[in-house]
Amino acid sequence: MTAKTEIVKRLGEQAVLIPSLIAEALSANDRVKLRLTMLQEAAAAAAGSPVHTLEAEKRASGLSDLQFEQTVAGARAIGDGRVAAPGVSVLIAGIPSDIETMLAPIEAMEPETARCLSARFDALRAAIPTAEGDVIRRADIARLTAAGAHEQDSLHQLIMEAHKAINRIAVQTAVELIEGAHVYHLDADDKELVTNFMRGLNRTAFLAFGHPGLATTAAHIGAKLTIQNDIGATDAHVIVIHVDNLAVSITYTDVHLARAKFFASLFALWDAEWSALTEQEAGGLGQEQVFYLMNGRFKASSREELCAFLTFLGSRIVFLIDWNKARKALQTFIGRKAAVDLLVWAAEEELGHRAFIELGGVELVFDAIRHVAAGRIPYGARLDAVLGEKESVSFLRLVLKEASQGLRAGHTARLIRDQIQADLGQRFESGESAVLRIVERHLGLSRDLASGIWTALAHETNGAGRALLTRRAKRIEAKADRITLAARDACTKLRNSKELRIVVDEVENAVDAFDEGAFLLSLLPDGETSVAFGDRLTALADLATRSTGEMVKAVAGTARLPEGQRIDAAFALQALDAVGELERLADAAQRNALAAFFTMKDIDTNVLILGIEIARAIERATDYLAHAAHALRDRVLQELSA
């Protein structure tokens, strides 16, 4: 008996498995009869008689293991009525298991017959030899394969009678197919309910994308309709549904605690009640040590609601297949809760996760990262640490959607991967563009402040006007600080943000320098000295204003590079080159201003120092802008090479 059958039997639902039990019993019948035939042929081969190797029969019954390859052909007599046959001990060891599998459907449908056959088998079991060392007595072979004499039972006779009982049960059950479900003993009302369940199951079954499972059987046992579904290939993963009047009870077993909780969560919009999960020993159920059992109950208010619930229930089962594998894959990129929430969303949208797994799972996303985000994500960093959780979840939703809809539409895996890569590329590019747009706003403030300084110098603004400029500069500087924080935060979402971070920092330094220059300008005394200083600093202030303007152009052009406009790259590089040239001119203008200051007669030392510091502040701003331009130029060249 398979482990899947065993878990249903533990739940007390073996009767619903009659179709599969019969199929397994008939296979076991063929297998055990072949075991006995191979023993007879081995005895004949040891005696030197012509024999059949039974290769075709072994393949058909599942006894084609290499250990049985020489059981017949390699048999030889070793004296004292004994035969040595390779693999004969394993061949005989399988006889009890085959007979137990044959008895399973009889136990479910004809308990009295089963008790009689089981009692006979218990009496005969002790006579089955162990054939230690692959050696067996001829007398033991004869006893095992004998048809039985009057009033003397034999294993062969037991097998033949069990086979008759199995055939009788198969005829009695008269299996019928309803929308793919194997059913028996159903009346018209039962068939309607099974049809509704299968309608939901078939609506989403394609989302398994070739994965085995979803086999459904149903029967009317006692006073209730019982529906059972295998759910994939995991041994202890089974759902059994009972429908009694308008009440639906669900018995669900799973080896994964998290998946069981996920399944219950899918019914949030239905008034279904679920018991606490209980842990059960899983001995004999594959490799798992334990499994979890959970019971659910739903009471419908009408026949229509009952049918609707069964349809919904059937439609959810496919989302359990490979669920834990999908959760682990998604947790590579986002947190555990976010991964589970994403799988809930995929189920609600009827997209599922099997297509994602079918196309490579983790590797599907890693492939996109390697193609479009290489160098942007630190080694070992999770995707949500770079893009942020919201953006990462949005991207992974796109991955699940493209995978599911793409496979359903027959798109090639290459096309689906290309679409996923294009989306991820846009997300990273939009992140970089966001930083540049913020920097562009920041530079707008710098240009406004530089222009204000030039106006104050060129138009000989008086003390009151310069004080007003100082207050305005302080407000601009405070606003620029807030923008800088936003830009730095945006940079944290990018891995390769080294150049952009330099741009942000240097633009911030430039606005600080302009703010300092505006403050120092307000300290100049009114009169001819102020006018003289203005004449000598106007050219420097003009160069600084033009430099901020060129940086605005450069940043705007760089932000458009992801759109693929090569002309924007040329535009950006020209503007960046202009910033560098203006910095050199500003350096010369500062020296000219300083030289002019020292030729002025009758100038107060404090005022002279003040003029020097104003010139230094303005020129320092152009230095910062030049540093920003150099970093941005590196970024533009990176984009062009990509």
**DSSP-assigned beta bridge partners for residue 228:** 217, 240
Q: What is the pLDDT of residue 41?
A: 86
The residues facing 183 across adjacent strands are 176, 218
Are 23 and 169 in contact by the 8 Å Cβ rule? The answer is no
The residue whose two tokens read 């300008």 is: 521
Query: Is 506:631 a contact under the CB 8 Å cutoff?
Result: yes
Tell me what pLDDT residue 25 has. 80
DSSP 407-426: HHTT--HHHHHHHHHHHHHH
Query: In the prediction, which pLDDT does 89 show?
Result: 92
370 to each of 417, 552, 618, how far by Cα in Å?
12, 32, 44
- Amino acid at position 32, single letter: V
pLDDT at 311: 97
SS3 helix, strand, coil % of the chain, rounded to 5?
A: 65, 10, 25
Q: For the segment 138-182, what is each residue's pLDDT rounded down to a tens digit?
A: 998 888 877 655 567 888 889 888 988 887 776 677 568 899 888
CA 493 – CA 497 distance, rounded (Å): 9
pLDDT of residue 285: 44
Entry pTM: 0.56
DSSP for 20-67 reads: HHHHHHHHHHHHHHHHHHHHHHHHHHHTT------HHHHHHHT---GG
Residue 169 contacts by C-beta under 8 Å, 6 or more apart in sequence? 18, 22, 105, 106, 109, 110
- pLDDT under 70: residue ranges of the chain: 1-17, 19, 23, 56-57, 60-61, 147-151, 170-171, 174-175, 221-222, 232-236, 278-290, 373-381, 429-431, 460-461, 493-496, 528-530, 562-568, 639-642
Q: Which of 30, 162, 186, 33 is nearest to 107 (CA)?
A: 162
